[in-house]
Every structure is written in C-alpha cells, then in structure tokens.
Amino acid sequence: MSAVILTPRALYEQVAEQLRQRIFQRELEPGSWIDELKIAEEFGISRTPLREALKVLAAEGLVTMKVRRGAYVTEMSEKDLRDVYHLLSLLESDAAGVLATTATPAQLQTLQALHTELEAAAPERERFFAVNERFHMQVLEMADNRWRSQMVADLRKVMKLNRHNSLLKQGRIEDSLQEHRTILDALLARDATATVAAMQAHFAQGLEAAT
C-alpha cells in the first residue's frame, strides 16, 4: 500500500478523516478491530495522534472503544438504525417546513438545479448518494439553524455505516427520486405542511428499504 501524504492541518484531524473515509468506503468494516500499531506504522506517526483521532471518531459514533480491547468500527443494530432515522426525520422535516416559508427564489432555484443533478446521477449509485446528501444538507443550510445542521451532520455520519443497504434495494433509487420530486414540489408551492409530510415520508421509505 502506498504511503499516505498528510497536509499541514492538525495531525489527528487528518488521521481522523483518513479513517473516516476508510470506514465509509468499507475498507474498515463494521465490527472490525482497528489495528493501532499497523495504522500508526502505515501513516508514519506515533500512536498519540492516532488515539486522538479515534476519540474524535468515537464522539461521532463511528468507532466504539472497548476497555482493554481497543477500538472497533461501530456496528449498527436495527434499533440504532431506527433511532437515527427517527431523529433525522424530525430534524430534517422541521428544516424543510421552515424553508417552505422562508426560501428566496434564488434558493429554490438552487434546489431545483440540485434535483436536476440528482436525476442525472440516478444510473450511478455512489454519485446519486453524494448528490442526495448535498440536497439534504443544502436544505439544512438554507433553513439556517446551525445547531440543527450540526446534529444532522453527526447523525448522517452514523447513518453511512449502513448507507449501502437502502440504495441496493431494487427500485429504491427511482422511489427516492419520486420522493424528492414531491418534497421539491411542496417547497415550490411554499406549503410547509405538505413539505414536512413529504420529508417524513421520504425518511419512512428510506428506513423501510434499509431494514
């Protein structure tokens, strides 16, 4: 494996991001033990910044620290998944409802452009997932509550531990697109009640596909 080149950012933050991406890409599988010695050697660092990085990932819920056993990639139970989806549904539908009444024409145009990009990404699952997340985070950003946005960002990191299951289900991408169209139509109509309901239905369908 080629050497990992680290940039001038705080070392433990760089290490955390490297490990985060390995977890998201399934190079480190849920439930797997994280070999600190091997990773420290690969990155050419001491174990101190690595342990600081693992603390960051543990705070995000991506890593579970076990006494005298070390760090493991978090495994998501069905209850964990349902709990995360429940909170995301509450927070993101709330943001969407706010946006339905506060969005500027330029913001709605941005969301329309993102939806067009999402339609084009449908044949490529990984690209579709990335654009889908951008759409959701754009709604959060436009609704302008940084605490809500931070909570959603953290929950979405944990959700990625199970991200592939929902999109692998036959027909799920097509269904997700239709749900996004419904959300966007409600936003364009500035109907807060319909927007909240559409976002909650989107998460309910996503959960059903993921479990």
How does pLDDT run across 30-81, given as a tens digit for each residue?
A: 999 999 999 999 999 999 999 999 999 999 999 999 988 999 999 988 899 9
Residues 115 and 196 placed together within one structural domain of the fold: yes
Instruction: Report the candidate in 70, 113, 128, 111 with the shortest Cα–Cα distance to residue 199.
Output: 111
Range of the domain at 166: 78-210
Note whether 20 and 122 are same-domain residues: no
Q: Mark whether 62 and 154 lie in a shared domain.
A: no
Domain containing residue 154: CATH number? 1.20.120.530
pTM comes to 0.82
Same domain for 195 and 94, yes or no, is yes
Question: Over the stretch 5-36, which tens digit does the pLDDT of each residue have?
Answer: 655 468 899 999 999 999 988 899 999 999 99
Do both 56 and 84 map to the same domain?
no
- Residue 146, Cβ neighbours under 10 Å: how many? 9
5: in domain? no
Does 93 lie in the same domain as 46?
Answer: no
